[in-house]
Amino acid sequence: MFIEPSIGKSRNPDRRGHIEVICGSMFSGKTEELIRRLNRALIARQKVEIFKPSIDKRYHDFDVVSHNENAIRSTPVNFADDIILLAGDCDVVGIDEVQFFDQRIVEVADILANAGKRVILAGLDMDFAGKPFEPMPQLLAIAEYVTKVHAICMKCGNLASYSYRLTAAQDKVLLGEKDSYEARCRKCFHEPR
């Protein structure tokens, strides 16, 4: 049985919490959009806490960094439940690379939103095989607001929603950038190698 730790309520008791999910393929602008929303909250003097899975150290140990090098300071965590302990009395919680968290992230997002916080999650909706990237389907189901962003297909220039892996590796988790992935549309993703 999971015992819910005491979680700091949002500082404004009248504020209602909710969940926003930003999803899409690699290079689609998920991190850019997450940073944009968090910066606007900071301008409005909201107390913001930002987390990422500690596995993701591609660009920086602490910052959340987009492919075009926008950055915002974050706290890397090992487990979804760490976020409950660290969110404190903030108003807004931002989480990047949410697909790398364990399934507990679904309940954690719920708990934070129920405590009055605005919870903004960004992550891949599909893996390199074009299959749903767990736990994203559950997060999409419980979110009040869902934004799907798109990259540009590197083959044909149409809108891309798939992350095409350029190597033959079959591991579900394989960190990488343009060296190992490119954005593709449905047609170009399914073309024979």
Annotated binding residues for ATP: 24-31, 96-99
Q: Are 89 and 115 in contact (CB under 8 A)?
A: no
**Can residue 120 be called a binding residue for ligand LXEULUCI (CB under 6 A)?**
no
Looking at residue 99, the DSSP 8-state letter turns out to be G
Cα gap 16→120, rounded to integer Å = 14
Give the range of 24-32, 36-44, 136-144, 166-174 binding ligand ADP by CB under 6 A. 24-32
Number of residues that bind ligand ADP (CB under 6 A): 15
Q: Rounded to whole angstroms, how far apart are CA atoms 193 and 149?
A: 26
Among 114, 155, 166, 180, binds Zn ion (CB under 5 A): 155
Residue 128 near ligand LXEULUCI by CB under 6 A = yes
The whole-angstrom separation of Cα 30 and Cα 87 is: 22
Burial of 45 (0-12, 13-18, 19+ CB in 10 A): exposed
Read off the tokens for 154: 């590197």
| Stretch near ligand ADP under the rule CB under 6 A, chosen from 63-71, 73-81, 136-144, 166-174 | 63-71
* Site membership for ligand LXEULUCI, residue 10 (CB under 6 A): no
Q: Catalytic residue at 107?
A: no
User: Per CB under 6 A, does 71 bind ligand ADP?
Assistant: no
Q: Minimum distance between the CB of residue 4 and ligand ADP, rounded to whole angstroms? A: 31
Q: Return the DSSP state at 146.
A: E
30 touches ligand ADP (CB under 6 A): yes
CB atoms inside a 10 Å sphere around CB 145? 11
Residues identified as active-site = 97
State the residues that interact with Zn ion by CB under 5 A.
153, 155-156, 158, 185, 188
